């Protein structure tokens, strides 16, 4: 149990740091109401979770430590659905309703498409 928690924690820490660095990088080039950094992270994260799950299933990995590290830890730390939700709330509060719905629609559609793409590549 402690070993599993350690794998999740290490993966989560790496994912969280990469999410932060993505935000720093994107904010240097993008100053707009649309939360591009979170959008990018969520789409990449959806792709990666599809890729990881597909690869592990294809190769019949029985090593649960790798699953905990990559999927629960890294992808859980990297993706930002809670940030996505609060950002949409702020967009609605600031009367950016159309932008909020565009952000929601694109995130969900492209996220599902990215998971499918990741699974397809892995298989």
Q: Which residues are annotated as a binding site for Na(+)?
A: 76, 79
List, as residue ranges, the binding site.
76, 79
Spatial distance between the Cα atoms of 60 and 122, rounded to a whole number of angstroms: 12
Spatial distance between the Cα atoms of 98 and 112, rounded to a whole number of angstroms: 21
**Contact (CB, 8 A) for 18 and 83:** no
**Contact (CB, 8 A) for 114 and 43:** yes
């Amino acid at each position: 149990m402690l070993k599993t928690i350690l794998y999740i924690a290490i993966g989560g820490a790496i994912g969280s740091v990469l999410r932060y660095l993505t935000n720093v990088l994107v904010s240097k080039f993008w100053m707009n109401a649309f939360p591009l950094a979170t959008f990018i992270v969520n789409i990449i994260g959806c792709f990666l979770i599809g890729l990881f799950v597909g690869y592990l299933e294809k190769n019949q990995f029985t090593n649960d430590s790798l699953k905990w590290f990559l999927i629960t830890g890294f992808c859980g730390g990297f993706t930002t659905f809670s940030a996505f939700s609060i950002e949409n709330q702020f967009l609605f509060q600031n009367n950016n309703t159309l932008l909020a719905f565009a952000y929601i629609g694109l995130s969900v559609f492209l996220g599902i498409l990215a998971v499918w793409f990741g699974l397809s590549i892995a298989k």
